Amino acid sequence: MTTVLAVVIVLGGLIFFHELGHFAVARGFGMGVSVFSLGFGPKILKFRCGKTEYALSIVPLGGYVSLVGEGEEEEIPEGFTPEESFALRPAWQRLLVMAAGPLANMLLAWLLCWILAFGWGATFLLPEIGGVSEKSPAAAAGVKAGDRVISIDGAPVETWEDLSGAIGRSEGKPLALEIARSGSPEAAGADFITLNIVVKPLKSVRKTIFGEDESTWLIGVRATGRAAVRPLDFLDAAAEGARQARQMISLTWQGIIKLAQRVVPLDQVGGPIMIIQLVSRQAHEGLAGLLALTALISVNLGILNLLPIPVLDGGQIVFCLWEAVFRRPMAKKVQNYAMRLGIALLVCLMLLATFNDIWRLVKGVG
């Protein structure tokens, strides 16, 4: 029951927020909206407020906003005027309506990350050395496992990200590390001693999160993996939430590019079954993990909808951009062929994702 409830709330909330983005901007421009539905298919519940019918439909995996005059040849529904027609509005207004859904998903991701940062604080890796590679610059300089880096070239180091960032930006120049070392004979009864060590980073190759080789400056150390939490006030949490959401957007976009480049294998593509599994797992592990996963899914939904595939928001944005630049709509015949190609592409993508989901289930059982 917990799983079903979590899936319905997460997916329903994401779809609602996406469609709310389209709805809010359309209404802001004075465009008519005949139906706002959460879900597809037969309507379970519905009511009318003003000119718009609000509905809850039986198939929860989706939703839609029916804009008046969305098709150029579509008749204006009773009660609406031609001035409220979507098709008769300037291209830039239609573009903003189409972009509002994906952007609403990005906004939701930021709000969820904001809630996480405010409620649970900012978690960060401590700048503690968990291991030192043999014959590395760090080993040659005398850095040992268990050391904690306090500063680099006089600049305070509070997180492992601070440490790795300073090393990566060094361009090979010697770095003056201030280190706290505990359990050393030199401590003479004190909790730790402070040492000043100079390390010269070496140009090396390491693997990125996508498995590619990356050339960077390293000193040959790895983290202990110990983390700490820093409480944040309301405004600091907003900034931290924005940073986390921006990182999610960047990594998701890079992942899609790497998938197109075949750097990331196609068997990593997941669909509804994978999403349900992840939501179920996080629902049982705690609210913080569920909120973080929801933010990530929201970012994925937003970016996928911005792809220039005609049946998605991104494809409609391309049509609007064409009209804005060339002062005329793209030929109807071209749009129709593009829509068919887009539908075929989406069907193939859904089949691939479903196949991968089922194959993972089969391997898991095996």
pLDDT tens for each residue of 130-147? 999 999 999 999 999 999
Across the range 226-230, mean pLDDT stands at: 93
Per-residue model confidence as pLDDT tens digits over 84-104: 999 889 999 999 999 999 999
Q: Which of these is catalytic: 19, 84, 128, 178?
A: 19
d(Cα 131, Cα 221) in Å, to the nearest integer?
Answer: 6
Specify the pLDDT at position 277: 86
Domain ranges for the chain: 91-121+234-365, 124-229
Q: pLDDT for 231-242, tens place per residue?
A: 999 999 999 999
Residue 34 pLDDT: 92
What pLDDT, on a 0 to 100 scale, did the predictor assign at position 99? Answer: 96
For residue 19, indicate whether it is catalytic.
Answer: yes
pLDDT digits (tens, 9 = 90+) for 165-212: 999 999 999 999 999 998 655 544 457 789 999 999 999 888 888 878
Kindly tell me if the per-residue pLDDT of 264 is higher than 90: no
Name the band, by pLDDT with cuts 50, 70 and 90, for residue 2. confident
How large a percentage of the chain has pLDDT more than 70? 95
The pTM of the full predicted model, rounded to 2 decimals, is 0.86
Structure tokens at 213: 């080789």
**pLDDT exceeds 80 at position 71:** no
**Phi, psi for residue 49 in degrees, rounded to 5:** -130, 115
Which residues lie closer than 8 Å to 76 by C-beta, 6 or more apart? 32, 68, 69, 82, 84, 85
Query: What pLDDT was estimated at residue 185?
Result: 53
Coil, strand or helix at 331: coil
194 in Cβ contact with 178 (< 8 Å): yes
Q: Which fold has domain 124-229?
A: Pdz3 Domain (2.30.42)
